[in-house]
Structure 1
Amino acid sequence: MSYRSPSQDNDKRPLCGNESKDTEGQCRPRKRKNVAESVSKTKLGQLFLRWYDEILVFFRTLAVSLDPLFFYVPVIKEDKKCIGLNKVLWNTAVVSRSVIDVVFLVHFVVKFMIRPHKREKGPRLLRSIMFKVLVILPIPQVVMPIIFSEMRRTKSSNITILNSVILLQYGPRVYHIYQQWKKLIRKKESKDKASQWFKASWNLSLYILAGHVLGAFWYFFSTQRLAACWHKACEIHGVEISFNCDHSFRNLSFLDDFCPIDTPNPSTFDFGIFLEARQSGSLESTNYLPKAFYCFWWGMRNLSSFGSNLQTSSYIWENIFALGISIFGLLLFLYFIGNLQIFMEWRTTKQQKWRKRQYNLKLWMSNHGFDRTARKEIIDYIGKSYKADEDVNVETIIPHLPTKLRRAVNHHFCFKLLKEVSFITACPFEDILIE
């Protein structure tokens, strides 16, 4: 018979290392503290996590609304026949875009730290990462200076490719808004009045945002078409010149003859839908707000009319732009009509439920012989205390009625029964007994 010391027994027990022991001495893995749990312990963290999706939708919408600032940077100087840059607007656009990109980058990191259980796997994860990287790449900060340089060169042949690069990122950024919005709708799947107003305000903001973006593109493409006209005039006259405003005075009167403002000649160069931008003086204006509001009005006007009033030239990219306005306006219209139909169906269902509830309530009170005053008070109370689509059991709401109304209902139900008892009939304190 051998004796084993406690120390020897302890040596035979399993070493848990980073794991903890349960009541039976067995090792069990320690629970790792989730970042989300540590954040949610504070009241501020709980509030942040609750409104996280709303904040994300706001920043994504803000990002798309601030990107058009880059398109208003070029300024046409007709007196010098050159293309200048609004440096204040450029700095504002770069700083705002950089801040938004940092916010998206933080979100990209936080999503994989706070919500590890929601991470995609395999090819889906790779597509998700590539999509998010494309959204936060500083493409306008890099590509826009190249476009401005191309516009002021003697010959410009890469403008279309560079424009496509800008649009390549703009599409995913808009889709990001739609994606997060659908997620927010599923999260807030509700039929109350606040939810419906939230959806209505979003629909209006989406329409306004579309008009703002289209107006900015229209201004930007107008400057490019004027630069293309100048390039064509120089090519015909055999002149090689840069349209940089830093150059000294030059005699470029032939540009006025080839690209006139008041009496355009479509046979030499047709500006199409971009002629209005030049004739309105928007291309020469250095004041951002009047120029932006005019372009915004142009975008809203043609978006609401599906581009039916646009008189285009034979330039293919101009027709593609006009066609995009028409299709996008039609899609927005169908989207709004669909939401309006859903809202009307919701209102109709709500009214039907309210009428049915009133009918059942009146039938119940009529069967129990309530007088007109009590009926009105009960209906008013239920209408104020319960939602229109909320089910109400009339037999269980009596304890929740106001004191005076509850006493009247109890008196109505119980007094007839109590009066059948001889002792109660002789008692002068009927109301006290009923209560």
Structure 2
Amino acid sequence: MNPHSKFVQVWARILAFSSLVAIFIDPLFLFLFSIHHENNCIAIDWPKTIKLASIRSITDLIFFMNMLLQFRLAYVAPESRIVGAGQLVDHPSKIARHYFRGKFFLDLFVVLPIPQVIMLWVIPVYLGIPSEEYEKQILGATILLQYLPKLCRLLPFLAGQTPTGFIFESAWTNFVINLLTFMLVGHGVGSCWYFSGLQRVKACLLNASDISEDVRGFLIDCDNSRSFASESEQALWRNSSSVNACFQEDGITYGIFLKAVNLTTQHSFFTRYSYSLFWGFQQISTLCGNLTPSYSVGEVFFTMGIIGLGLLLFARLIGNMHNFLQSLDRRRMEMMLRRRDVEQWMSHRLLPEDLRKRVREAERYNWAATRGVNEELLFENMPDDLQRDIRRHLFKFLKKVRIFSLMDETILDSIRERLKQRTYIWGSRVLHNKGLVEKMVFIVRGEMESIGEDGSVLPLSEGDVCGEELLTWCLERSSINPDGTRITMPPKGLVSNRNVRCVTNVEAFSLSVADLEDVTSLFPRFLRSNRVQGAIRYESPYWRLRAAMQIQVAWRYRKRQLQRLYTAQSSYNR
């Protein structure tokens, strides 16, 4: 499969969304633990556990399907990148070998259902073990062993560092990804903080002095306390002063986990998660400026890790957001600088106020039509076939002109390559009577009017052309005598017999005399065909007006001749 195909691109977006869900799901498993303050025991929210495990299994299945896809996805040979254009390797055995040597084993480890196994089968058996090491093993298995490799594998993928290029290319999408990255870090920090606070509370409960150690192991697990502890032991556990002291500030030294102590007793999953997420955002944004850790080594290193993550995020994410906001205002700033330069130039040249108004109007409309983008510069580095397809899309209006609707795509492509974008403001004159016709103008948007020598007015709108007489003039210049010699024409250009002015602001494309001569020299036989010449003569407003004028001249001449003949006959009869 070609990595640049439409299916692969759509699949990449599906996988990116699934990866984002998978990254957010794993820390949520830590919020499934809570403390029932009435019984002073740790409980697991089993309905939400099953839902999260199911969602995590779906994301694992999607990622596993992506692993299978990698065995049939062509890749760019590394040695061909040095030369220049990358060469795709599409042999199945080479693709499989390349994937095995690359990220296959990392992907296989990431897709393993470790959180599901731990939450559904391991924890229910060993939750009441009177030791802190068990929670540390859970934290290490679910986060350090699998979650961190998953982040290293999926975050570059979300950022667009894929063999197929960028997944999300718009500026707004990248801005959202930066915000989601910030939320992800706050989400992970808040989850670890909540779970560590729960671990501190459990350590305090397991050290209750007035309860025997064997009984404490059963009573601390809500499920086991109902099955293996008597009612008197449960009542003693609930009323124990050393147990209740664990939920007070003077119970043990909680350090930065003080707020998490009473948070663990909240029944609402959403409340526990929301406050932990807020705590994570707050500490990352302030670099733990409001925290004072205890002398616990783990707590100190946890605080230092938050500070390091905060500095990293501010260095990268804030910089990316600044670039994004700057890109939004870049065009506006360019427009303001352009207007300032124009104002300074007009002031330096002492232009009168009426000309200044016209210049300002022209600048405003030109910027609105082009958005300050130079299309010629954009086309320079594009492949030829891509330039041709883009021009065919941009210049579809050529098909609306009957003259060009009869032409082949080859001739139209040659014309499209030479078209230049033009904008005219209201009142601008495109052609002047007795002036040279220097270009053909194709109207894309707006209205013009053509005023003949006799005062006749012909409206021109979208799809119309002015200056089309240049085509016939250029064909006459490239004509050949019967003996094979080229007909020499005077160097003076074609003179216009009409005025063409803009009724509204007009967006158009123009074709200069030199470019039109190139086209007529390349395709003279086709352009001289009776069909094309008939379309030019019949559809052109210029030729229609010229034909009407010649008919009027002939009619007047004929009328004068008849008048003379009538006068002569009358004199003879007398």
Alignment of 1:108 with 2:67, yes or no, is yes
Q: Indicate the SS of the match to 1:233.
A: coil
Of 282-291 and 151-160, the range deviating more from structure 2: 151-160
> In the alignment, residue 170 of structure 1 is paired with which amino acid?
Y
More contact order relative to length (CA 8 Å, sep ≥ 6): 1
Cross-structure match for 1:5: none
Whether the 8 Å CA contact 2:197–2:261 is kept in 1: the answer is yes
* CA distance, structure 2, for counterparts of residue 146 and residue 51 of structure 1: 38
Per-residue CA shift, 1:336-383, capped at 9, x if unaligned? 23214434664676456545655788879x999994454344323222
Q: Are residues 1:217 and 2:192 paired?
A: yes
1:240 counterpart = 2:223: no
The residue aligned with 1:428 is 454
Q: CA deviation at 1:233?
A: 2.7
TM-score (norm 1): 0.72
> Does residue 61 in structure 1 map to residue 20 in structure 2?
yes
CA deviations 1:7-60 (Å, max 9, x no partner) are xxxxxxxxxxxxxxxxxxxxxxxxxxx5879xx6xxxxx3x4343333322211
1:62-88 per-position Cα deviation (integer Å, ceiling 9, x unaligned): 111122221111121232232111111
Q: Structure 1's 123 and 110: CA in aligned 2 closer, same or farther, altered over 3 A?
A: closer
Which of 43, 46, 70 is residue 84 of structure 1 equivalent to? 43
1:380 and 2:364 correspond: yes
2:142 alignment partner, one of 166, 175, 180: 166
Q: Which of 85, 105, 116 in structure 2 is aligned with 1:130?
A: 105
SS in 1 for 2:38: coil
2:428 to 408, 425, 429: 408
The SS at the match of 1:154 is coil
Structure 1, unaligned stretches of length 5 or more? 1-33, 41-45, 420-425
CA 1:274–1:50 in 2, change beyond 3 Å: closer, same or farther? Answer: same
Superposition deviation, residue 262 in structure 1:
5.7
Matched, 1:94 2:53: yes
**What do residues 104-145 of structure 1 show as CA deviations (whole Å, max 9, x unaligned)?**
111111132243557778687434111111211111112235
Q: Residues 351, 154 of structure 1: CA spacing in aligned structure 2 closer, same or farther, 3 A cutoff?
A: closer
SS at match of 2:428: helix
Specify whether residues 359 and 222 from structure 1 end up closer, same or farther in structure 2 by C-alpha distance, changes over 3 A only. closer
Give the structure-2-normalised TM-score. 0.56
Q: Match for residue 183 of structure 1?
A: 160
Larger CA deviation: 114-123 vs 202-211? 114-123
Percent identity over the alignment is 21
Q: Is the 8 A contact 2:19 2:154 kept in 1?
A: yes
Please state how far the C-alpha of 1:180 moved relative to its aligned partner: 0.8
Counterpart check, 1:315 vs 2:290: no
Distance 2:341 2:149 in 1: 52
Alignment-derived partner of residue 288 in structure 1: 269
Q: Which amino acid aligns with 2:282?
A: R
Following superposition of structure 1 onto structure 2, how do residues 193-342 of structure 1 map, counting pairs within 5 Å? 195-233=170-208, 238-241=212-215, 242=218, 243-246=220-223, 247=225, 248=229, 249=231, 250=233, 251-252=236-237, 256-257=241-242, 260-261=245-246, 263-265=248-250, 269-279=252-262, 282-342=263-323
User: What displacement does 1:399 show?
Assistant: 6.2
Would you identify which runs of 4 or more consecutive aligned residues in structure 1 move more than 6 Å? 118-124, 359-364, 366-370, 396-399
- Say which one has the larger Rg: 2
- Once the two structures are overlaid, the 10-residue window that deviates more, 339-348 or 287-296, is 339-348
Residues 340 and 156 of structure 1: CA distance in aligned 2, closer, same or farther (over 3 Å):
closer
How far, CA to CA, are the matches of 2:97 and 2:8 in structure 1? 27
